[in-house]
Amino acid sequence: MAITKSVPVIDMKDFSTLPQKMVSACEEWGCFRLINHGVPLSLMSDMKDVTRSLHDLPMEIKMRNYNHLEPSKGYTPPNIASAFFESLSLYDAGSAAAVDHFCTQLDVSPQKREIILKYTSAIHDLAKVMGSKLMDGLGLNGEKFKEGISQFKLNRYNYGPETVGLQGAVMHSDAGFFTILHDDDNVNGLEVVDKTTGELISVDHVPGTLVFNVGDAGKVWSNGRFHNVKHQVQCYEASVRITIALFVLPAEDENVQVLPGLVDSDHPALYTPFNFEHYRRQRISTDSPTGEALEFFRSHPKLLS
Ligand code: MG
């Protein structure tokens, strides 16, 4: 029988080996599954129900979450990214005021608001822990993890018989530092590219777990050590797919740059600092969905010395 490859699985309860295992997985795969992450299963399930109910709201209410100035920060209606994908967005999810604003936009009931607050705070805290463990694994115990801004996206893939075999999300890398994905509990679709062989590997759902992946800014941050994994979402079956993603992004007023502790004479900084929003725009204008635009910010230390 053929052995099906899968992404590494990391148990957060393995305290002593956790930082090193995370760093290895980020280097070799740019992606891993996280178990025993501490977010209560009942909260995960409640948040899925809330996400379903928000997407069932009439389009005119969901459009209140649309951000005219910065479309990437608000609701993505169908036909922007794909004909059957839509996504509600909570930008700066670590801020209670931003959560409040999001809930008010969508007329969320007090009970659901409570679930959103608890969930965003639990995943946001987890992201901070993951960031710190990565710093430990990189040998930077003295440096504090700068958490940046977090953005929640509540995604619905409106799959039906006519979409089977189509792409729900095109091949891309994420632009930010890293992403924590709460996948659908029944409907698969996420595929990542194996860095060494180029094969597509299905990341099938495992209920109660989370999937962690590195983005373009994470590659820069680690001075090129971490892999900004390419991934896509396929439609395998005619069932609606609901996922919730937390994107840890650089803060708007901060440059993306190589962690200073990773730079020495043997390891010069591979990238020059850049503004994240500028980079994001460059990704779009140069049609570089899998991080190719990072090459604009490559430094050439040998030429400079
Ligand atoms: Mg993605």
What are the tens digits of pLDDT across the range 35-45? 999 999 999 99
- Domain annotation covers residue 295: no
Q: Is residue 64 exposed (0-12), middle (13-18) or buried (19+ Cβ within 10 Å)?
A: middle
CATH number, residue 49: 2.60.120.330
Its domain, for residue 176, covers: 9-260
102: left (phi over 0), alpha (psi -120 to 50) or beta: alpha
| Chain Cα centroid distance, residue 16 | 25
* Rounded mean pLDDT, 44-59: 98
- Domain annotation covers residue 167: yes
- Domain annotation covers residue 87: yes
Pairing of strands 210-214, 231-234: unpaired
Q: Give me the residues near ligand 1 (ion), CB cutoff below 5 Å.
A: 174
* Rounded mean pLDDT, 23-39: 98
Q: What's the 108 CA to ligand 1 centre distance in angstroms?
A: 26
Q: What's the 240 CA to ligand 1 centre distance in angstroms?
A: 18
Please say if the pLDDT value at position 161 is more than 50.
yes
- pTM, two decimals, is 0.95
- Domain annotation covers residue 25: yes
Q: What is the pLDDT of residues 108-155, one digit of tens each?
A: 999 999 999 999 999 999 999 999 999 999 999 878 888 889 999 999
Q: Are 11 and 35 in contact (CB under 8 A)?
A: yes
Q: Is residue 147 exposed (0-12), middle (13-18) or buried (19+ Cβ within 10 Å)?
A: middle
Q: What's the 85 CA to ligand 1 centre distance in angstroms?
A: 13
- Strands, E, within the chain: which ranges? 9-11, 31-35, 85-91, 149-157, 167-172, 178-182, 190-193, 200-202, 210-214, 231-234, 241-249, 255-256, 274-275
DSSP secondary structure letters along 15-33: TTTHHHHHHHHHHHTSEEE
Q: What's the 250 CA to ligand 1 centre distance in angstroms?
A: 16
- Domain annotation covers residue 293: no
Q: Are 276 and 250 in contact (CB under 8 A)?
A: yes
- Domain annotation covers residue 147: yes
Q: Would you tell me the crossing angle of helices 110-137 and 41-55 to the nearest 10 degrees?
A: 120
Q: What's the 203 CA to ligand 1 centre distance in angstroms?
A: 13
Q: What's the 27 CA to ligand 1 centre distance in angstroms?
A: 18
Please say if the pLDDT value at position 305 is more than 50.
no
Q: What's the 224 CA to ligand 1 centre distance in angstroms?
A: 19
Q: What's the 277 CA to ligand 1 centre distance in angstroms?
A: 17
Q: What's the 291 CA to ligand 1 centre distance in angstroms?
A: 12
Q: What's the 173 CA to ligand 1 centre distance in angstroms?
A: 6
> Binning pLDDT at 50, 70 and 90, where does residue 5 land?
confident
Joined tokens for residue 43: 């909260």
Q: What's the 231 CA to ligand 1 centre distance in angstroms?
A: 7
Q: What's the 191 CA to ligand 1 centre distance in angstroms?
A: 10
- How far apart, in whole angstroms, are the C-alpha atoms of residue 177 and residue 221? 8
Q: What's the 298 CA to ligand 1 centre distance in angstroms?
A: 23
Please say if the pLDDT value at position 60 is more than 60.
yes
If you average pLDDT over every residue of the chain, what do you get?
94
Q: What's the 53 CA to ligand 1 centre distance in angstroms?
A: 23
> Binning pLDDT at 50, 70 and 90, where does residue 234 land?
very high
- Domain annotation covers residue 127: yes
Q: What's the 143 CA to ligand 1 centre distance in angstroms?
A: 28
The residue with tokens 């990437």 is: 72
Q: What's the 242 CA to ligand 1 centre distance in angstroms?
A: 14
Please say if the pLDDT value at position 190 is more than 50.
yes
Q: What's the 66 CA to ligand 1 centre distance in angstroms?
A: 20
- Domain annotation covers residue 300: no
- How far apart, in whole angstroms, are the C-alpha atoms of residue 56 and residue 293? 37
Joined tokens for residue 303: 């030429």
> Binning pLDDT at 50, 70 and 90, where does residue 66 land?
very high
Among the listed residues 187, 225, 43, 241, the one whose alpha carbon sits nearest the alpha carbon of residue 126: 43
For residue 2, the model assigns a pLDDT of 56
Q: What's the 145 CA to ligand 1 centre distance in angstroms?
A: 22
DSSP secondary structure letters along 188-232: --EEEE-TTT--EEE----TT-EEEEE-HHHHHHTTT-S----EE
DSSP 184: -
- Split into its structural domains, the chain has a count of 1
Q: What's the 168 CA to ligand 1 centre distance in angstroms?
A: 11
